[in-house]
Amino acid sequence: MNFFIITGTSKGLGEAIAKKLVSPDNQLACISRTKNLDLIDLADHKNCVLDYYEFDLTRIEEIKSLIKQIVDKIDKNKVEKITLINNAGTVEPIKPMGRSDDLDISRNITLNLIAPSIMINNFIKYTRDIPVKKDIVNISSGAAKRAVFGWAPYCSSKAGINLLTETSALELEDTEYSVYSFSPGVVDTSMQKRIRNSSEEDFVELNRFIGLKEEGKLLKPSYVAEKLIELLENNELKNGGIYHMHEFVN
């Protein structure tokens, strides 16, 4: 049995990843602010054990107890692999510094960087004594590697995710843990819709992103999810690796 902890499963890429993993051979712990009833129904239909946790990851002081609660449900006699996928995140605020709301900046950094850090910290604490392979996947962005006008908190937090990945991997060398960062590319999700609904004054690359949608160049969440799962199943990723979807698209 493989055990997966996935954040941000109410929609988008997180939902697509969870749906691809629904199987009698897998047990899922899904986390988002609102329950995904379609996902729960799919798991019931496919005889997959799925526990859903309605949880706001900006409540960082409660993450420790959440992880403990989840790990306590792992059957240590049957589990063969445990995977944490830190997918939840936000691009907002889409505004240049000096015009952004302070609380929006705080929420961005908290959800995109602080929460995954605390998830990883407690995931390691509570699974350390389970002698199986353990993977940690951090969903990043191409924006981690370049400055984008209007995305200062997003670029900064995703750059932080990449360095968090590399540092955690260094600390976990020669253990049962591996840590990866994966940038999914430009995926057709509600996040992209919010980007297209911003203003050119706040986001100077607006027309490029509108063009990507109009030209059919956005990747489907199901396609990206399938590729990521394939890479994990085939053990094609190296500990500490920073990967981008375009490396694996034919």
Per-residue pLDDT tens over the stretch 80-137: 999 999 999 999 999 999 999 999 999 999 999 999 999 999 999 999 999 999 999 9
> Quick one: which of 196, 221, 216, 193 has its CA closest to 208?
196
Active site residue 154: yes
Amino acid at 215: E
pLDDT tens digit sequence for 33-65? 999 999 999 999 999 999 999 999 999 999 999
Helices (H), the chain: 12-21, 37-45, 63-71, 102-109, 115-127, 152-171, 190-196, 206-214, 221-233
Q: What pLDDT shows up at residue 236?
A: 82
Active-site pick, 52, 53, 126, 154: 154
* Residue 4 · residue 85 · CB < 8 Å: yes
Helix axes 12-21, 37-45, angle to 10 degrees: 10
Q: Which of 36-50, 105-119, 143-157, 189-203 has the lowest mean pLDDT?
A: 189-203
> Percent of the chain, pLDDT > 90?
96
> How many residues belong to the chain?
250
Beta carbons within 8 Å of 37's beta carbon, 6+ residues apart = none
Averaged pLDDT for residues 229-236: 91
Domains of the chain in sequence order:
2-185+220-245 (3.40.50.720)
Q: What pLDDT shows up at residue 46?
A: 98
pTM of the model: 0.96
> Quick one: which of 99, 221, 104, 205 has its CA closest to 154?
104
Q: What pLDDT shows up at residue 250?
A: 64
* pLDDT of 249 above 80: no
CA separation (Å) from 227 to 10, 117, 137, 249?
20, 25, 13, 9
DSSP code string of 49-104: EEEEEE--TT-GGGHHHHHHHHHTTS-TTT--EEEEEE--------S-TTSS-HHH
Token code pair at residue 65:
């107890």
**Residue 235 banded pLDDT, cuts 50, 70, 90:** confident
> Percent of the chain, pLDDT > 70?
100
Q: What is the spatial distance between Cα 90 and Cα 192, in angstroms, rounded to a whole number?
A: 11
